[in-house]
Amino acid sequence: MAGILDLREKRDEYESESVLTSGKTLITVRPNFPGPDKRNLHSNFVSFTLCHEIESALGIEAIHRTHDEEGLIFFLLSDMDKVEAKRICTGVEDNHPLGRLADIDVRDAEGTISRNEMGLQSRKCYICDDLAAHCTRSGRHGFDEVSGFFKESVTDYLVSGTMETMIQRLSSFSLLAELCRELGFGCVTVESNGSHKDMDFWTFSRSIRTVAKGFGEIPALGANDFESLRKFGLELEDRMFGATGGINTHKGAIFIYLIMIQGLLESGRYEDIPEEIRRISRPVLEDFGKGSESNGLKAYRQHGILGIRGEAAGGFPKLFGDYLGVLEDGFDLKRLTLSVMSDADDTNVIHRAGIDSLRELQSKARQSLRDASGTGSLDCWCNEKNISTGGSADLVGATVFAHLIKNNYKTLKGEI
């Protein structure tokens, strides 16, 4: 494991070099999470959200990211003057609900500009009134206290505001969790393009923002039948293709989340969601009688596999049952991914590598779960065989989403 000091030094080199070669102002967004390893779902979400905030405010796109013990860090280059850029970034630090959970550094070829130089106070500690630098140096507060504050602040942000806002944030959080998995088994992740040549982390990150925003529009739709939900889903697919330059990143996820969110809206208790989903999704089985050419429908015709449509028609029994159980037992996304891969009939795998490869993959995933080893080689095997476990990845993200709905049901429904 590279020490955090080495990583900091490496980052500093990258930053100096980019301002020198570009002659521009560099903005670095990094999570302010305690401890030697800053990577986790909450801290990644803070970086991701604030990077988007800066992108919107400055009208630029991030050009580089790193994901290591320092956490998920974004780098943006702007033509804007250093002082003006710093003014906008300190505004985000001080005013965005997640702003205090990150450090947004601004520098140019002359060096970094500090908050003090802008006439602003240094950052305060999360826990007491002292300066953050004092408490960090003296280790005044324990890891659990500081990380607890960080995670609670993120959760408060996820479930505040209107139903629209909450759905947008929760779906964005869960889709990002899926994208930042340690291993993708052929899928794009924050660290690898898996078996894909035509898409990368940025394709997915643009797509997440677009589809999560769309999911937030579902409550206002007032959809009362499956056809209006499907119509909105097709519109959202178009927006996704617009954001990704025509690449399918989240078509499967759109299908699952639309139905889950509608189930949430129509339910009276968390426990009723699967029943609502069964009712909403009934028409989906009629698709099997049609001549459409989607991967899912081809898999049904050739192999009798009902796939994700069958799951929806049954109220996502595995997702709300076994998968959620695995997730809640230690929140290990690698184990959840292997569990999903070992039993889901992932039609993405069938489409790219055939039914025999799917069965082989399922057996290898079961083996990895039993031995708690071999996951690295299974990941390589997927890439070599040109397999992408995209259907399983959709279910992993959706399981995180179900977990968030379960834990925050009453807040979401405005009951507390």
Q: Which of residues 249-278 bind Zn ion (CB under 5 A)?
A: none
Query: What span, in angstroms and rounded, lies between the C-alpha atoms of 62 and 64?
Result: 6
Tokens at 85, concatenated: 């850029």
Q: Considering only the stretches 128-136, 231-239, 270-278, 385-393, report the one whose residues sit in contact with Zn ion under the rule CB under 5 A.
A: 128-136
Q: Considering only the stretches 131-139, 173-181, 210-218, 240-248, report the one whose residues sit in contact with Zn ion under the rule CB under 5 A.
A: 131-139
- For 244-272, letters b (16+ CB in 10 Å) and e give beebbbbbbbbbbbbbbbbbbbbbeebee
Type of residue found at 155: T
Min CB(36)–Zn ion separation in Å: 19
* CA 240 to centroid of chain Cα atoms: 15
Nearer to Zn ion, 81 or 145 (CB): 145
Min CB(37)–Zn ion separation in Å: 21
Query: What span, in angstroms and rounded, lies between the C-alpha atoms of 188 and 193?
Result: 4
> Rule CB under 5 A: is residue 145 a binding residue for Zn ion?
no
Q: Considering only the stretches 132-140, 222-230, 323-331, 372-380, report the one whose residues sit in contact with Zn ion under the rule CB under 5 A.
A: 132-140
Min CB(35)–Zn ion separation in Å: 15
Query: What span, in angstroms and rounded, lies between the C-alpha atoms of 26 and 217?
Result: 34
Give the x-and-dash track for 49-68 against Zn ion (CB under 5 A): --------------------
221 contact partners, CB below 8 Å, separation of at least 6: 228, 229, 232
> Rule CB under 5 A: is residue 125 a binding residue for Zn ion?
yes
Among 135, 190, 305, 349, binds Zn ion (CB under 5 A): 135
Among 57, 127, 247, 369, binds Zn ion (CB under 5 A): 127
Q: Considering only the stretches 124-132, 336-344, 382-390, 395-403, report the one whose residues sit in contact with Zn ion under the rule CB under 5 A.
A: 124-132
29 contact partners, CB below 8 Å, separation of at least 6: 47, 50, 51, 54, 73, 74, 75, 76, 102, 103, 104
> Rule CB under 5 A: is residue 131 a binding residue for Zn ion?
no
Among 13, 130, 225, 328, binds Zn ion (CB under 5 A): 130
Total number of residues that touch Zn ion (CB under 5 A) = 5
Residues that bind Zn ion (CB under 5 A): 125, 127-128, 130, 135
